[in-house]
Chains A and B, each alone.
Chain A
Amino acid sequence: MTFEIPRETNPGKIVEVTIGATAAQGGTRSRSVTIGGSTALPFHFFEGHQPHRPVVAIEVFDKVPAKYPDSLREYYQDVLDKPGEMARRCVADFGAEMVSVRLEGTHPEKGNRSAEEAVEVVKDVLAAVEVPLIITGHSHFEKNNEVMKKVCEATAGENCLINFVETNNYKTIAAACLAYHHTLVAQTPIDVNLAKQLNILLGDMNFPQNRLVMDPLTGALGYGLEYSYSIMERIRNDGLAGDRMLAFPMLITPGPECAKVKEARAVEKDYPQWGDERRRGAYWEIATAMSLLIAGADLLIMDHPRAVEVVQKQIGEMFHSKEEGDHGALRT
């Protein structure tokens, strides 16, 4: 039986989204980052294109998260409360391609920092690094809207990725992104239809397609990963099959999700079968990231420097077969 490679061509193409703006583009970044553009399932170079590598961002904070894991403190302890310095370390030492500034401290119950303080933090990070930024807010609608509006205005032209809007609270922030030229994350809770609906709502506001990234919500390994995995596979399949309202790059957040998981940080002394906690902290994040890359992730927010290094290396490995054209077996 002569073998023929079963190539499938898809009518759809994932939208290409560029984040960050160089001086020529009206910002101050040394370069911008482009994600999306795929015409085939992730890493299926034998049947389509994936023009851009998935990109890894590391996060910094306006306020150190409660219960920040020890396995991360050893890398960041001295700069945890200095977001600019921490960002510099993330980029210079740990290879972050973008930096996510989490403004959790503006939440009324988690510090209630003012919008002005948030703007200072973001400006501090903008000045410290030259990579594009993700600005991550929270779910307290009223306060988040106030903060994000100010941040969007203060960073006008930088084309930050504003993370995130949700179905019950999208208009104010989306309008600010439009006015000050930023890119936007549409977040929905692990559901294909809700994801599509929010993208349609944003479309109704004439929000440009090439400035939209989806976050179908990440469940950490063991804590809902299988739901995220399958929803992302379905979204990517539908997007490639031609559903334009699902054909956007996807954001995942293995770092912050795994940082909350007890199994990723409990010490071996208490749970001998779980093994060395210093490795396990990174392992948990790696397994979450690698599986969701297979499901279609285009942009990853991570925490653990070892996990970042290895995931970037493996993304390179997976892209290697693209660069050398068809690999050995595919030439048959």
Chain B
Amino acid sequence: MALSGLDIFKLLPKTNCGDCGVPTCMAFAMKIAQKKAELSSCPHASEEAKAALGAASEPPVRLVKIGGGNGLEVGGETVLFRHEKTFFHPAGIGLEIRTSQQEDKSLEHIRQLEGYQADRVGEVLKANLFFISHDSTDKAAFLRTISLIKANTTKGLVIDCPQEEALTEGLELLRNDRPAIYLRKPLTDHDIEIAKSFGASLVITSSSYQDLAEQTEKARQAGLTNLILNCQGTGLGGAIQDNAVLRRSALKKSYKPFGFPLFTRIADGDGFETLAASAALLCKYASVIILPRFDKALLYTLFTLRQSIYTDPQKPIQVDPKVYAIGDPTPDSPVFVTTNFSLTYFIVSGEIENSGTSAHLVVCDTEGQSVLTAWAAGKFVPEKIAKFIKDIKLEEKIKTRKIVIPGFVAQISGELEEKLPGWEVIVGCQEAADIPSFVKSVNLV
């Protein structure tokens, strides 16, 4: 929990010596509270002050990294609801590889996930992790699976291996790769030692809150901070409540043992149930989601949901400002103009498509604002629309000289015609849903 300026002032020497570069202790305290100064600037700060401020500046939910280099960072969240600010670090999505399965099968799954990516609204969507589940007693198979993954992917790795010897040998193969170790059993001193010597993070599991807290405390006291929590409640209902309890404890009660990202492994089932459970838990604080099998349609759907939930609510998703071909337009097809707020674009392009008409859709840069907002803010006004149409050389590409503007900005039609000599401006409908009937009733070319 953040301390106020006054709380910090009470911890300072109150000598106003100025050694920190700020004239008074009170002013220095205020700067620390605003995160514009750090306590280390004060050469006279007591150990007590350092401890108190250190604890207060610890993030409520730790940012944990899995994998070396450009590994996956999860956690670091500060709010329970995305509308309060935003969720910062999109959940890591991974695939389970079982060592009991045929090696060529494993290789196929590894290559499938490694090779899978999709573009959506300017973002590349892809998976982040592999989860090795050592469900046989064959140590060689376990080591071969690790080698396969190491050779074929740079994604982060989480390892579930109940055999100590196999685990240690496996980790030897992964020096510098900073994997996460999934612990089926309560944390031991040996686990702590292994985590430290290999720089691995730990996934701590339990079906009881108190036990989970005690294990986490043990790890924290040993100096480990790269922890991920997996509370194993019963079914989807249990998992949702567990995540709510753990995250709320961390954020609202500053309960340090639960100030870590949350781990979810989805039980094998048909894809429909897998997706349903993943979708619910993605919304309810899961920082890592491990899927039981590779399914492109499922990944694409879940990635799209992740993109939605982790979008900053204060920054609208934008599409590139340019001319979009809807259907199969020719130089004589109708021309529509709108803003580059992604929703506006999706709805308008979808309804033009629904109308069965092929058209050119001119999408102006309004910094992601919708039609009326952009108009009010001076970003969707005749001058700018006309300039954009000139800049993209629309007149060289198409022959149509009629342009449809959104009905909500009917008032700009006269001025836009002045700014676009040779063009006729047609006032369209107000609601995108009416585009199909509008297209039928007006001659647009």
Contact = CB atoms under 8 A, between A and B. Distances in A.
Chain B associates with chain A: yes
Interface of A: 1-3, 5-6, 8, 41, 43-46, 66-67, 109, 139, 219, 221-227, 229-230, 233-234, 237, 260-263, 268, 272-277, 279-280, 282-284, 286-287, 290-291, 293-295, 306-307, 309-311, 313-314, 317-322, 324, 327-332
Given A219-B343, A327-B238, A314 B233 contact: no
* Most central of B116, B305, B431 by chain A CB within 10 Å: B305
A283 B297 contact: yes
B217 interface: yes
B17 interface: no
Interface string B217-250: 1000000000000011111111011101100110
A223 to B, nearest CB: 5
* Those 10 A-B pairs whose CB atoms lie nearest each other, nearest first: A275-B297, A275-B296, A321-B237, A280-B297, A273-B118, A290-B279, A318-B237, A226-B308, A230-B83, A109-B437
A330 B298 CA distance: 31
A328 B233 contact: yes
23 contacts: A1-B213, A221-B308, A222-B120, A223-B343, A224-B343, A226-B311, A227-B343, A229-B309, A230-B313, A233-B83, A273-B117, A274-B297, A279-B298, A283-B301, A286-B275, A287-B276, A290-B283, A291-B280, A291-B309, A328-B233, A328-B234, A329-B207, A329-B245
B284 interface: yes
A294 B278 CA distance: 12
Contact of A320 (B83, B117, B234, B283): B234
Contacts of B296: 268, 272-276
A237 B82 CA distance: 13
Nearest to A324: B234
Contacts of A293: 280
B241 A330 contact: yes
B209 A314 contact: no
A44 B284 CA distance: 11
A85 B15 CA distance: 85
Interface string B196-219: 000000000011111001000100
Interface in B236-287: 236-238, 240-242, 244-245, 248-249, 252-253, 255-257, 271-273, 275-277, 279-280, 282-284
B241 A43 contact: yes
Contact of A314 (B217, B242, B257, B273): B273
Contacts of B81: 230, 233-234, 237
Which bucket holds chain B's interface residue count?
Answer: 35 or more
A318 B208 CA distance: 19
Nearest to A279: B297
Contacts, number: 218
B353 A262 contact: yes
A280 B343 contact: no
A317 B245 contact: no
B301 A322 contact: no
A139 B276 CA distance: 32
Contacts of A45: 237, 241
A332 B308 contact: no
Contacts of A1: 213, 217, 255-257
B253 to A, nearest CB: 5
A303 to B, nearest CB: 15
Contacts of B234: 320-321, 324, 327-328
A141 B242 CA distance: 47
A332 B209 contact: yes
Contact of B272 (A3, A282, A321, A330): A282
A151 to B, nearest CB: 22
Nearest to A317: B236
A260 B350 CA distance: 8
B346 A223 contact: yes
* Most central of A1, A8, A66, A295 by chain B CB within 10 Å: A1
Nearest to A43: B240
B300 interface: yes
Given A221-B305, A329-B209, A6 B272 contact: no
Contacts of A328: 207-208, 233-234, 238
B235 A287 contact: no
B313 to A, nearest CB: 6
Contact of A46 (B245, B277, B284, B308): B245
Given A109-B437, A221-B308, A279-B271, 19 more contacts: A1-B213, A5-B245, A6-B245, A225-B308, A226-B308, A230-B81, A237-B81, A268-B297, A279-B295, A279-B298, A283-B297, A287-B305, A291-B305, A310-B276, A313-B276, A314-B277, A319-B237, A321-B234, A329-B208
Given A222-B304, A273-B118, A329 B240 contact: no
A311 B81 CA distance: 23
Nearest to A309: B272
B330 to A, nearest CB: 21
B402 to A, nearest CB: 22
Interface string B15-54: 0000000000000000000000000000000000000000
A275 B298 contact: yes
Contacts of B83: 230, 233-234
B166 interface: no
Contacts of A43: 237, 240-241
Nearest to A292: B283
B346 A3 contact: no
B280 A314 contact: yes
